[in-house]
Amino acid sequence: MKVGFELHVTPLTESKMYCDCPTKNAQPNLQVCPICTGQPGSKPMAPNETALRAGIKLAKALNCTLNESVSVMRKHYFYPDLPNNYQLTSEPFGENGSFNNVGITEIHFEEDPGQYDPKSGLVDLNRSGSPLLEVVTEPDIDSIEKARDFLEEFSALLGFLGISQKIKADTNVSINGGARVEVKNIGSISGALNAIQYEVNRQAKEGAVLETRHYDKDTMTTKPARLKETVADYRYMREPNLPRPRASLQAKNGSTTYSTT
C-alpha cells in the first residue's frame, strides 16, 4: 500500500486570514463581515501575520526549502460552503522537505471555507476565511505503523511549536499500483488509521477508481462523496486584489511581513 497525506492545520490566531473577524466559537453566522461572506465589492485584507509566522516555523521544522515570496491564487470551484466560489490559496512557501522519513512535497497557506450541513441545507460562515496551513506529503508511507508514527510525531511537533493541534488529515490510499482514492472528513489520528485499514480491505475486494470518499467515524467506513469534489480544472489565477508581488515570507530575521512592492 501507498499512503500520503494532505494535512490541514488550523494555526492559533485571533482573527481570520483576510479580515479582522475573530476565530473563536460563536452562534452560527455571527463572526462574519463583508469580506469572509464574499459580499460583492469586498476585497481581501493582508494575510494574517500570525498564521504566516506559524507556517514558516512549521516549514522550517519540516526541513523544507523556503521560497522568499509567493502569490495568492484564486482556486475556482463550486461548493455550498464557499461564498465566492473560489478559495484563496497561496503558492507553496516551503518545498522538498522531509519529516520522519516521509517526503514533504510542499506547504502553503489557504482559507477555510464555511460549514455546510447537507441534512439541513444550512451553511455557517463563522469558519469561512479562517487560516489553514496545508502540508502535502509524498506517498511514502507503506504500513499502518508508519502512518501512525508519522501522524503522532507530526502532532507532537505541532504541539512543540505551539501552532495548534487541530488537524484534518485528507488521506490518499492506493494498493498494488492501482488508482488513488482520496478520503476526506478525517479529524483524528485513529480516524486516519481506521480509514486506511478500511480502504486497503475495500480496494482489495472491490478494486479502486480515482475518486473522493468521505470517512464516517461512527461506522469507521468510507462512502463515496455526496457531491462531486474533484474538479478537472480550478482555473488558478493570481488574486489581482492583492498587490504584486505577494506575501513576502522573508524569514532572515524571523520576521514575516507583507510586501507591497
Partner 1 sequence: MTLKDRHGAFISLTDTPGELAVKDNICVQGFMCTASSKLLENYEPPYTATAVQKLQKQGLTVMGKTSCDEFACGSTGTHTSLANPRNPLDEKRVPGGSSSGSAIAVKDGLVRYAIGSDTGGSVRCPATFCQIVGYRPSYGQISRYGLMDMCMSFDTIGTLTRNVDDAIYLITGMSGKDDKDLTTMNSVDVKETPGLAGKRLVAFRQILESCDPGIREKFNEATEKAKLHVDVIDFPEIHKSIPTYYMIVFAEFASAMQRFDGKFFGKNRELLGQEVKRRILLGTFISQKENKDKWYTQAINARKWFQQKFEAMFAKYDFVINPTMPSPAPLVGEITDPITEYSMDLGTIFPSLMMGPSISLPYQGMGIQLTGKRFSDSALLYSARDLEGAL
Least Cβ distance, residue 80 to partner 1 (angstroms)? 7
Q: How far is the CB of 174 from partner 1 (least distance, A)?
A: 24
C-beta closer to partner 1: residue 147 or 247:
247
Specify the residue, 100 or 259, whose C-beta has the smaller distance to partner 1.
259
Closest CB 86 distance from partner 1, rounded Å: 6
Q: Which is nearer to partner 1, 75 or 146 (CB)?
A: 75
**121-143: buried (b, 16+ CB within 10 Å) or exposed (e) per residue?**
eebbbbbbbbbbbbbbbebbbee
Residue 176 or residue 260: which is nearer to partner 1 going by CB? Answer: 260
Q: How far is the CB of 257 from partner 1 (least distance, A)?
A: 12
Q: Which residues bind partner 1 (CB under 8 A)?
A: 34-35, 37-46, 74, 76, 78, 80, 83-86, 233, 235, 237, 239-243, 258, 260
Give the nearer residue to partner 1 in terms of CB position, either 46 or 208. Answer: 46
Helix axis angle, 189-206 to 144-161, nearest 10°: 150
Shortest CB 32 distance to partner 1, Å:
10
